[in-house]
Chain A
Amino acid sequence: MSEKVVKKHHREPLIHITKRESMAWWKAWSIRGVAILLALAVAGVIIMLVSDLNPVDVYVAMAGGNFNLEDPSQTRMMWVTFQKVAILLCISLAVTPAFKMKFWNCGAEGQTLMGCVAAATFMIYCGDSMQPALLFPLMLLVSMLAGALWGVIPAVFKAYYNTNETLFTLMMNYIAISLVAFLEIVWESPKNSAKVGVINLFTKGGWLPEINGNRYLPVIVTVLLVCILIFIYLKYSKQGYEISVVGESQNTARYVGINVKKVIIRTMAVSGAICGLAGMLLTSGINHTIYPDAVEGQGFTAILVSWLASFNPIAMIFAAFLIIFLQRGAGAIATNFGLDDSLADIVTGIILFFIIGCEFFIRYKINFRHSKKGGVD
């Protein structure tokens, strides 16, 4: 019965990968630090290979795209950077409750744009005639409702018919963009410019008030407030708890008597409403006009930010800053050196690759053949 086993050349595998239990926070952060340094080094080599630029000059230019390095007393550029961080952060915070529920809201772009539409409507029709004490609360409310509406529609279909929320929310974006394109014609000013132009340029009706002549500060303060509220909402409120349970397991949620449909719809209303708020801040606080690309794709970037921060609202501040820094820095590289966007995109890509890639080494351990201890830190 016992025939000889066919001998083959079997070798122990070169590497095998095991999951880590956990890692000390300082260790995790030093891995991330090393990743950024490595990213800068690798990007530097590539910069030297494909162009004749000095990598250090390139990195200085990136920083210069965010902060005025030559004259630090000129703070405008810094405020613009922070304002952009704020808007991105606001949208990232908006998508987070939905993501924690494992509802993949890819419609933040449209939901924010609907907030812009609502705000612009108020500025155009009531900006000069309504008391600010009434105008701003109303504008805020309606903008949030508009965003919420855009979020609730896919949520209702998801809850009752189990439609795919990713596709549904994506398609809602295009409806919002087309709606704005249509409104551009309706609100066209001056005639035949195919643009809305600055609304109430001279009266500043419906423009969000400035703090000390700084129009960026109100936006930044509001978003920081939202950040704290979302942090508390997700961690300490009963609704936040329900979101986590539904996201983890709908069966468990049903088992403990949570109305899953209700939670899906309510959470998307919250998600959409915060997007609407971001839209209002953008239109009434910064742009004072509206155009189809007003959100600049930040509705999608917000998905990255939310994930990068592992859905932690506080960590999102840093993630949003990182992304804006790279985006604005990339723009500066392109203009400073008279290049097209490609080199900037390469640098941004390498840095993101390393930052996201290093999470692998934080979660997993790599063992080499015959290594007793193993592990690459």
Chain B
Amino acid sequence: MSEYTPVPAIELRGITKRFGSVTANKNVDLTAYRGEILSILGENGSGKTTLMNMISGIYFPDEGEIFIDGEPAVISSPKDAFDYKIGMIHQHFKLVDVFSATENIVLGLNEGGKYDLKTANAQVQEICERYGFDIDPTKKIYTMSVSEKQTVEIIKVLYRGADILILDEPTAVLTPQETQKLFTILRRMRDDGKAIIIITHKLHEVLSLSDRVSVLRKGEYVGTVNTAETTESELTEMMVGQKIELNIDRSDPQDPVDRLVVKDITCVNRQGVRVLDDVTFTARSGEILGIAGIAGSGQRELLEAIAGLQHLTEGDIYYHDPKTGEVEDLRNKTPLQIRELGVRLSFVPEDRLGMGLVGNMDIIDNMMLRSYRKGHSAFLQRKAPRDLADKIIDDLQVVTPSAHTPVRRLSGGNVRKVLVGREIAAAPTVLMAAYPVRGLDINSSYTIYNLLNQQKQNGVAVIFVGEDLDVLLELCDRILVIGSGKITGLVDARTTTKEEIGLLMTKSDVSGGEPNE
């Protein structure tokens, strides 16, 4: 246990950062002490990551001062940050796949003497034992799970002597069980006298883990509260700026019929990996089918396979046409062929600018993507898309200078609204949405949930790939759990628990073929 020091490990005063006309951080104050866990809470786009990037030397503040241990500090590169013993664990890992854990940890360290892997391994082992990390230092990165890779990233900054640790949304890629394990380790590091800053937008994590919470809203510092003295609704209010009701109104499915029957589909990627392995399920009309799983377990491939964007090596996809009652096989048809069959399939892909939208085109031209073929004229009709763009901007409160702004200039949340709005406007009978609320603020997220619910009530078969288990449990009717390309379970969202889904998410790792150790 370290003694309480009144001098903060790190203190920010009046930090401002602008990108062009956008102010990402405005006059932010922040203090973090040794021996505590500080949460930075804020909605997407509130400037949390920008702020942390200034502490870790990636950006340089336009205004304001940073103090380390009470002394003014100038951090103009990640190397400076290391000199001040600041270590950041990014959302996206920066590891060399073919190297072992230790090799990645010592990589780039400019130490004298000869390259001694044995000593390094021993040192890594020592750090592991001290904080309770469970990892083999000689294991290669490419054989590791996401949570193990994260562990390596954490050890990497500890090895470099960091005693101010910043973690950017560390739980986004973890199962509930892995999250608990991480929290135990973080608490142990806190007790060892380190200052830990964790960026998150999940309220229950804030409440269960941190000692104090600092809240940012739209780039501005709102305030800091002691976790023990606050509640979920107070924090939400600080974060959003107004009192809001966070309820999803789930109705019972109205006479569901089979709409999309996926049968034994298998999909092999270029590396020869079975990204989808014998997947079978049925999506019914008037129902929201949730898909849960660790990121990268085959969710993307599954939706793309249905949309005609993945080649199937085996299996069939049957579409039951609600108008004619006919059954169409969509197996290995192109997206255009699928549409020509009269299948009204809407798809909100995960990679919104890489697939759903064209970044350099304005909102109007992006509205046209689905509909530009209409009519026999060789020329484009921009009237209808313009009206649709205006309607979506109004209905979903898209923040944009005009409908002529390239979507690349919009914030992540607004981009997603444009995409979801367009896909719903196509009056689908099947609506597939992959992470449709990623990057959205709380209000917009609930707008999207309500839209999905409306679609369900209109008899649309909705397939919803989500990452927040709490939302999946509240929104969906049934939840399909996918692990390593296999269906590991199908549960009733009204009766299941987070723990049950968490276990199903990792099930194929345990039972499936290769041992993990």
Q: Which residues of A contact B (CB under 8 A)?
A: 1-2, 4-8, 10-13, 16, 18-21, 236-239, 241, 244-245, 248-249, 251-252, 254-259
Rounded to whole angstroms, the CA-CA distance of A215 and B254 in the bound complex is 77
Q: Which residues of B contact A (CB under 8 A)?
A: 2, 5, 9, 18-22, 34, 60, 68-69, 71, 73-76, 80, 83-85, 163, 192-194, 307, 309, 334-336, 338-339, 347, 349, 351, 353-361, 365, 368-370, 372-373, 377-380, 409
Nearest CB in chain A: distance from B510 CB, A? 34
Rounded to whole angstroms, the CA-CA distance of A347 and B46 in the bound complex is 51
User: Is A256 a contact partner of B335 (Cβ separation < 8 A)?
Assistant: yes
User: Is A249 a contact partner of B355 (Cβ separation < 8 A)?
Assistant: yes
User: Is A256 a contact partner of B193 (Cβ separation < 8 A)?
Assistant: no
Question: Which residues of chain A are near B409, meaning CB under 8 Å?
Answer: 21
User: Is A2 a contact partner of B163 (Cβ separation < 8 A)?
Assistant: yes
Known: A13-B60, A241-B380. A255 touches B307 (CB 8 A): yes
Known: A19-B20, A252-B357. A5 touches B369 (CB 8 A): no
User: Is A257 a contact partner of B336 (Cβ separation < 8 A)?
Assistant: yes
User: Is B380 a contact partner of A238 (Cβ separation < 8 A)?
Assistant: yes
Question: Which residues of chain A are near B2, meaning CB under 8 Å?
Answer: 1-2
User: Is B68 a contact partner of A249 (Cβ separation < 8 A)?
Assistant: no
User: Is B358 a contact partner of A245 (Cβ separation < 8 A)?
Assistant: yes
User: Is B380 a contact partner of A12 (Cβ separation < 8 A)?
Assistant: no
Q: How many A-B residue pairs have CB under 8 A?
A: 109
User: Is B359 a contact partner of A5 (Cβ separation < 8 A)?
Assistant: no
Question: Which residues of chain B are near A244, meaning CB under 8 Å?
Answer: 358, 360-361, 365
Rounded to whole angstroms, the CA-CA distance of A6 and B86 in the bound complex is 12
Point out which of A6, A11, A248 has the most chain B C-beta atoms below 10 A from its C-beta.
A248
Rounded to whole angstroms, the CA-CA distance of A239 and B361 in the bound complex is 15
Question: Which residues of chain A are near B84, meaning CB under 8 Å?
Answer: 5
User: Is B193 a contact partner of A241 (Cβ separation < 8 A)?
Assistant: no
Give B365's nearest chain A residue, CB to CB: A241
Rounded to whole angstroms, the CA-CA distance of A257 and B368 in the bound complex is 13
Rounded to whole angstroms, the CA-CA distance of A8 and B347 in the bound complex is 53
Question: Which residues of chain B are near A248, meaning CB under 8 Å?
Answer: 358-361
If A237-B378, A249-B358, A255-B335 are given as contacts, then 13 extra A-B residue pairs at C-beta distance below 8 Å, sorted by A number, are: A1-B163, A2-B9, A5-B73, A10-B73, A12-B60, A19-B20, A237-B379, A238-B378, A244-B365, A255-B309, A257-B336, A257-B339, A259-B334
Nearest CB in chain A: distance from B301 CB, A? 13
Rounded to whole angstroms, the CA-CA distance of A19 and B408 in the bound complex is 14
Question: Which residues of chain A are near B34, meaning CB under 8 Å?
Answer: 1-2
Question: Which residues of chain B are near A257, meaning CB under 8 Å?
Answer: 334-336, 338-339
Known: A5-B84, A10-B74. A236 touches B19 (CB 8 A): no
User: Is B75 a contact partner of A10 (Cβ separation < 8 A)?
Assistant: yes
Give A367's nearest chain B residue, CB to CB: B62
Question: Which residues of chain A are near B20, meaning CB under 8 Å?
Answer: 18-21
Rounded to whole angstroms, the CA-CA distance of A361 and B163 in the bound complex is 41
Known: A5-B83, A16-B60, A257-B334. A10 touches B356 (CB 8 A): no
User: Is B359 a contact partner of A238 (Cβ separation < 8 A)?
Assistant: no
One of A18, A237, A255, A259 near B356 (C-beta < 8 A): A255
Nearest CB in chain B: distance from A97 CB, A? 15
Known: A238-B373, A257-B335. A5 touches B74 (CB 8 A): no
